[in-house]
Amino acid sequence: MRKNAIVVGCRKGSIGWHTRDLLISLGWHVEWFDREQVANRHHVDVTQYYSVMEMMLKRTGDYDALIYTAGINIPKTIDYNSDSETGSIYEAWNDTMNVNAKGALTCIDKFTRVCNKKRSIVVLVGSNTTSVPRSGSFVYGASKMALSGLTKHLARDLASKRIAVVQVDFGIVRGTPMTGQSQVQFKKTYKELAYRQKWPEAFTAEQAAEWISFIADKGHFATGNCLKIDGAEA
């Protein structure tokens, strides 16, 4: 039987973009969403409750998977601040939390209304910044820690509905729109990564999509887990 998925966060070249392509090639029916309004892509602003609600209420049929890859990273250090909230670490904190954590919660909440009642799964894309500190990434890391909390607690809460919740914590993923947001910051991060990562090559968005697609199809018994896939970065 053909499976159905919703993928949130599908900017061209992103992990979500490649996950969508792979799932379609595997025979899935995929509805895909992003903040950017582009032809053949549904628009959603995950920071706005009613935007997410409208997205889900328009869906028909039973969905087997929700894959949430939406995320932003605004590199800041604690000594970078200003006299106003605009451009400050506090604005970066609010914006990042709204997309990376609150947006995920809203999507999961509404997904429970359209999911396959026999069995379904939520796959969240986290980050190994929850355990591997990097300069300028405390806001991003904290948002992914919040996502980890959602994963563990919602897995317990949603088990009675036969909804699994699994998080995948990747290290640096090469060649995505996010890793191009701040070339200076990420060149420094790549330099650190080369020193710490045991595996001799950087992960790609296509490889990340393979893991996500496998978990979406077979990962139900991993519910409540945050799976670290980062080339043994330590």
Please report which helix (H) or strand (E) contains residue 156, including its range. Answer: helix 138-158
Of 168, 68, 70, 158, whose CA–CA distance to 120 is shortest?
158
Q: Under a CB-based contact definition with an 8 Å cutoff, are residues 9 and 16 in contact?
A: yes
Dmax of the chain from CA atoms?
A: 58
Tokens of 53: 């609600």
| Structural domains of the chain in order of their starting residue, each with its CATH number | 4-228 (3.40.50.720)
Cα separation, 168 vs 228, whole angstroms: 6
Q: What is the pLDDT along the chain (234 residues), one digit of tens a residue?
A: 789 999 999 888 899 999 999 999 999 999 899 887 665 567 888 988 888 888 877 777 789 999 999 999 888 877 655 555 556 888 899 999 999 999 999 999 999 999 999 999 999 999 988 888 877 889 999 999 999 999 999 999 999 999 999 999 998 787 676 665 555 555 555 565 555 555 556 678 899 999 999 999 999 999 999 999 887 665
Of 35, 26, 37, 21, whose CA–CA distance to 3 is shortest?
26
Of 10, 7, 6, 13, whose CA–CA distance to 61 is shortest?
6
Sign of the C-alpha dihedral, residues 125, 129, 135, 136?
A: positive
0.75 surpassed by pTM? yes
Strand, coil or helix: 59: coil
Cα separation, 177 vs 169, whole angstroms: 18
